Amino acid sequence: MKTLAELRPVYVVGIGLHPYQRPSEKNYVLLGLTAVREALADAGIAWPAVQSAYVGNVLVGMAAGTAMLRYLGATGLSIAQVENASASGSTAFRQAVIEVAGGFSDVALAMGVDKPGPIASGPGKAGVRGLVDDRVVPFTHFALLTQLYMEQHGATPEQIAKVAVKNHRNGALNPYAQRQQERTLEEVMEPPAVSGVLTRLQCTPVGEGAAAVIVMSEEGIARHGIEKSRAIQVVASAARSEELSGTLNFDVALTEKTTHDAYRQCGLGPSDFDVVELHDAFTIEELLYVEAMGFSLPGEAVRDLEAGAFDIGGRVAISPSGGLIAMGHPIGPTGVGQVAEVTRQLRQEAGPRQHPGARVGLTHMVGVGPVCVVHILQRPG
């Protein structure tokens, strides 16, 4: 298997978003076009320059991407829609990166767009049912993990809720975030708990939105006169699916393996990172994943969190966008939005939520399957 280090260098040269928000009457086409036009303007290119597009989408449905992108001009480019549960946007980005790295295109778009709606679920149709499947919605799955973490590491509900305090503080600085309001620990912990010790503000709001990034080869950058200092290199791309992990949570096991695959691809390790956008759909996930990724020793994530290690300006800023908890999780766009945030941070263009001197960043999504997708981005020079 090849890695990006053996292929053509790939750079993110344009980013754009439609703010994540509560479901509205706005059509998905308008959400998506807003993000793509912003990404084109950011790159300083016109739509006909884009040779290929990957559209992450779960809920809108068949051919959502082509029915939207035609309004930028039906140029005949290759378009494919990508569904990979919560990692759909991340996978769309990976496909665009692979296509440019492999030399098939010099300019590719990765985007995601979604609106809440009914989910047609493969696992639900597989005919394999446990005793209580329909009673265990996602927040209960993560409440089970929270209880186990508290038992194993002596963590308290207050300590776990502090993840949401930090991420709401970051989201309050992000004009694209669905939740742009700082929250005190008391507000985050306000009863009722929805399941276990998890309260509403410790769970991601699933809304609507769109995110887009444009990736280019060095040939593309030269051809389109892209300012090299704002081009952020993608130095690792890793994706995995389930391996049986016994009683160890599958997302944790998968995160550890996928992240370390990515580390090996580019020769970077946990101490090299400045910013990380990870799948914090529920507070407990941030703690579990920073340990699996090696940013904290096992059981010490709450101590590091309380010491400010994961704040903007701390040792490594975790979810400076506000993460899934505050920026939101519109499903299809989420992984692409993470790439946009890390790119903005590495360009030093994140304004009030800028992590000082950010040079290396990581994006991470898990999804139903389970699947996991990790990318590492680096500012050249």
- Taking the complex as a whole, the smallest distance from the CB of residue 197 to another protein amounts, in Å, to 9
- Taking the complex as a whole, the smallest distance from the CB of residue 236 to another protein amounts, in Å, to 28
Answer yes or no whether residue 137 interacts with another protein by CB under 8 A: yes
Q: Which 8-state DSSP code applies to residue 355?
A: P
Which residue intervals of 1-110 are DSSP H helices? 28-43, 64-69, 88-101
Nearer to another protein (CB atom), residue 141 or residue 169? 141
Of 6, 175, 244, 357, the one binding another protein by CB under 8 A: 244
Of 62, 74, 118, 135, the one binding another protein by CB under 8 A: 135
Of 147, 180, 233, 348, the one binding another protein by CB under 8 A: 147
Answer yes or no whether residue 348 interacts with another protein by CB under 8 A: no
Answer yes or no whether residue 6 interacts with another protein by CB under 8 A: no
3-state secondary structure of 262: helix
Answer yes or no whether residue 193 interacts with another protein by CB under 8 A: yes
d(CA 10, CA 98): 9
3-state secondary structure of 354: coil
Q: How far apart are the first and last CA of the chain?
A: 28
Binding segment (CB under 8 A) for another protein, from list 3-11, 52-60, 133-141, 220-228: 133-141
Of 30, 144, 252, 268, the one binding another protein by CB under 8 A: 144
Answer yes or no whether residue 296 interacts with another protein by CB under 8 A: no
Is residue 85 left, alpha or beta, with left meaning phi > 0 and alpha meaning psi from -120 to 50? left
Of 39, 87, 97, 143, the one binding another protein by CB under 8 A: 143
Work out the angle at residue 363's Cα, subtended by the Cα atoms of residues 307 and 377, and round it to the nearest 5 degrees: 105
Long-range Cβ pairs for the range 119-122 (8 Å, 24+)? 119/58, 119/59, 121/368
Binding segment (CB under 8 A) for another protein, from list 31-39, 67-75, 190-198, 319-327: 190-198
Q: For residue 194, what are the contacts with CB-CB under 8 A and spacing of at least 6?
A: 139, 143, 200, 203
Answer yes or no whether residue 118 interacts with another protein by CB under 8 A: no
Q: Which 8-state DSSP code applies to residue 351?
A: G
Nearer to another protein (CB atom), residue 74 or residue 126? 126
**Contact code string over 223-242 relative to another protein, x by CB under 8 A:** -------------------x
Half-sphere exposure of 71 (CA within 13 A, CB side): 13
d(CA 269, CA 38): 33
Answer yes or no whether residue 252 interacts with another protein by CB under 8 A: no
User: Where do contacts with another protein occur on this chain (CB under 8 A)?
Assistant: 126-137, 139-140, 143-148, 151, 192-196, 242, 244, 246-247
